[in-house]
Amino acid sequence: MEMVSPITGNSNVTVIQKYLAADLILKWKKAFELDISDELKSVKEIFLCECNESKLRFYLPIEVAGSDKLYKKLSEKYEWYYGEEKWEFDIGADLVQKFSPRSLLEVGSGKGHFLRKIIPSVENALGIEFNQDALVYAKKEKLPIKNLTLGKLIESSSSFDFIASFEVFEHLTEPLTFIQDSLRLLSQNGRMLIAVPNRNSFVKYGEVLLDMPPHHMLTINVDFFKYLANRFNLELEIVKYEPLASYHIDFYLSLLREKIFNNFHSFTVRRGFSLILKIYRKLLSFGFIRSFVRGQTILVVLRKR
């Protein structure tokens, strides 16, 4: 298999890790009680690679990208999957208030939780989505969400002052096309907001299945956005990091525990660390303490010069 970066198109990449598809199937069954065999098709090995130029990490082969069926199963099984209240929605809504765009496009609107927040502030707001359940819901709620692609909007000569995407980019297999199409639709001095899981957050301490195929195909940190700004002559105007969310405390501590236990087999060390974690957990109940821990999401705003 030729290892080619999906953002540069060249083979200047490094293979970070190899995963066996059979292992991922077993782990998903144990963690989520979901069988992802069909999603991974007949692929035997999956590779995590890093583009040496952009620092974007990506999984190959792209055939293992999840289908709409997978997202439907996850959303039906877990209420939090398409959560109505998210840190990035609040930050995004505040930025819309700050910049006052006349037109806004949200890519991957889901059930329109973000659009609801900003519609009163924007003259022309539009969301695009392909999930049929979400589209039915949007029609029922009379939300401006349509089954369109960026390409279709380009064909219709659409233009927007503000383009936002929340937890969408990491699912893509063609990120370069997404960026290029978004920039074609963005007006001069317009702004593009992208919120994604930050691979340098607390998830770096362990293996997170939802940050891997067939769910996520890309893993991102701020270096990638710096690359985008330089390559496309954009201003990296805003970078914000989510503080550790209260609902992620136990997950964060479990990753820390797993990391230490994998490296130290001494009963005394493990017992001592377990006691430290109990104290640390109590401290993390305070928002001020959690603010020092990088939470799941990084949000950036890139301005078109």
Which DSSP string do the residues of 215-250 spell out, in sequence order? Answer: T-SEEB-HHHHHHHHHHTTEEEEEEEEEEPPGGGHH
Q: What percent of the chain has pLDDT above 90?
A: 89
CB atoms within 10 A of CB 129: 22
Q: Residue 102's pLDDT band (boundaries 50, 70, 90)?
A: very high
- How far is the C-alpha of 91 from the C-alpha of 97, rounded, in Å? 10
- Taking CA atoms, 162 is separated from 120, 126, 139, 181, 292, in Å, by 15, 11, 23, 14, 30
pLDDT in tens, 150-209: 999 999 999 999 999 999 999 999 999 999 999 999 999 999 999 999 999 999 999 999
- Taking CA atoms, 107 is separated from 33, 260, 261, 277, 300, in Å, by 30, 39, 41, 40, 15
Question: Given the DSSP bridges, would you call strands 103-107 and 160-166 parallel, antiparallel or unpaired?
Answer: parallel
What pLDDT shows up at residue 141? 92
- Tokens standing for residue 305: 């010069």
CB 1 within 8 A of CB 59: no
pLDDT in tens, 126-149: 999 998 888 998 899 999 999 999
pTM above 0.85, yes or no: yes
What residue spans of 59-218 are helical by DSSP H? 68-77, 87-99, 113-118, 132-140, 150-155, 175-185
The greatest distance separating any two alpha carbons of the chain, rounded to the nearest whole angstrom, comes to 67
pLDDT in tens, 31-84: 999 999 999 999 999 999 999 999 999 999 999 999 989 988 998 888 888 778
What pLDDT shows up at residue 263? 87
The CA-to-CA distance between both ends of the chain, in Å, stands at 38
- Tokens standing for residue 266: 């001494």
